[in-house]
Amino acid sequence: MASPETTPVIVGVGEFSERPKSVLESKEPVALMVEAMRAADADGGGKVLARVQRVDLVGLVSWRYADAASLLCEKLGISPAQKINAGMGGETPIRLVHEAALRIARGEIKAAAVVGGESNSTRTKAKRENVELPWTPMPPAKATPPYFTLSEIALKLRMWDPAQIYPFYEMATQATRGVTPREGNAESARLWAKFAAAAARNPQAWNREGQSAEAIATVGGANRMINWPYPKLMVANPSVNQAAAVIITSLALARELGIADEKGVYIWGGAAAHEPDDYLKRDSYAHSTAQAAVLNKSTEIAGGAGKFSKLELYSCFPVVPKMALKTLGLDAEKISPTVTGGLTFFGGPLNNYMLHAVCAMTREMRADAKGIGLLYGNGGYVNKHHAIVVSQTPGAAPIAPDYSVQAEADAKLGPVPPLKQDYVGPARIETYTVTYSREGEPIQGVVIALSPQDERVMARVPAEDNGSFGLLCSWDRNAIGQQGEVSLDASGLPTWRAA
């Protein structure tokens, strides 16, 4: 039996969302986080924030601060020994909560807080309206290394937005399963309707309209195509003003502060693994061995996938929860993939969505004494994967000190095709997408293809090439496996044309 002194529990969760009438009435990100932290403290009985020894602030994007974590603590009137401005990635909140639990388990601290927030809706509107925001003055911008290092050809073709990359996985997984784009679109829409329904029940959600599967699947008008095969209602929405905070303590401190045991949610453990940063250096686009290893370990911790009563499967784009459900062997018609509402409908506050998911899952576990919840986060271009298992019931064993399952992920990797960036010659499509303008007009197709020697190449498909382009935009036939020829266009860019 683990000692209460080294048993981590979530004791306080708080969220804050705002829709100001004007941009000048809006709170800046740190101010949103102040509200979320106070809400988490109140949720934990009102005495726990003063005992926090470490604050981790999820990497924020919508405003630049010299030291956001220190400014937050100053505004809250607290002085934790450690104030950390953490990194980026959709899995980051799960990692930070897991690491806070491990610090408590090691006896290093007794209480920690994880917090994050974005005012991206206001920032976007202010830019559009040419309004100068009266927020904390930004420090001078510093040169920072790229978040992920990509191959030169990906940069030349301007293929670095995650919304452009996840479709490569969507089309590859559809081909592997023998699903046409039309069938895949319908499947994604049915899945996304589950997220929309959860958002409709969540008071903190940005979009509570409860979109139907038919509306989500129908491309046109406000639901314009973003990148094939995803329209707007299948893509994360970062234009939100939302913040969340989670406070974790030792069970002993929670009891000392008078927090009832049934209020605490135990962190049983979890797992993490990653793929190569450069998406052109993956073994396949039809799977992620890192995701599978993380979910398999989480299932082991829970005692089987069937033990999960609640799920939160990261939902930047439909392919991620689709792949997760397949690995878990679970059916979204029988268990909801979300307790929060998803990044399209609840809102996608950039790196911080999963902290809102921790808040939602904590409330679910408090309401179900025997429930077990899975929180799975994904970051980058299907790069980083982290999951934790939580319950109101204590785990059968103390939380494991090591959560890496990288060795298991790497052991399942297939051969990685060597990248040939200057290739000219025959090539068959390995996967593909089509990029669209803000008006919903196609810009170009982009294929990842394989030479006869199984070298990987990347090339564009001009919209003017009706024959080749039409193959990529067919709802009734997946273009993977289509043979073609790569040549250089007038500007020296590799261009693929169907044979």
pLDDT digits (tens, 9 = 90+) for 153-178: 999 999 999 999 999 999 999 999 99
Type of residue at 251:
L
Q: What is the pTM of this model?
A: 0.97
For the stretch 84-103, pLDDT in tens is 999 999 999 999 999 999 99
Work out the angle at residue 20's Cα, subtended by the Cα atoms of residues 14 and 24, and round it to the nearest 5 degrees.
Answer: 115
pLDDT of residue 158: 95
What is the mean predicted confidence (pLDDT) over 387-408?
A: 96
% of residues, the chain, pLDDT over 90: 96
For the stretch 259-285, pLDDT in tens is 999 999 999 999 999 999 999 999 999
Higher pLDDT, 55 or 21: 55
What is the mean predicted confidence (pLDDT) over 370-374?
A: 97
What is the mean predicted confidence (pLDDT) over 345-365?
A: 98
For the stretch 445-482, pLDDT in tens is 999 999 999 999 999 999 999 999 999 999 999 999 99
pLDDT band at residue 21 using 50, 70 and 90 as cut-offs: confident
pLDDT of residue 78: 97
1 pLDDT more than 60: no
For the stretch 179-207, pLDDT in tens is 999 999 999 999 999 999 999 999 999 99
Strand order of the β-sheet with 111-119 is: 82-85, 54-57, 111-119, 241-250, 8-17, 265-274, 384-391, 372-379, 310-313
341 pLDDT more than 80: yes
Q: What tokens does 222 get?
A: 């406000």
144 pLDDT more than 80: no
What is the mean predicted confidence (pLDDT) over 332-347?
A: 97
Mean pLDDT over the full length of the chain:
96
CA separation for the pair 24, 133 (Å, rounded) = 6
Residue 122: C-alpha distances to residues 32, 90, 117, 241 (Å) = 12, 21, 13, 7
Lowest mean pLDDT among 3-7, 30-34, 145-149: 145-149
Type of residue at 357:
A
489 pLDDT more than 70: yes
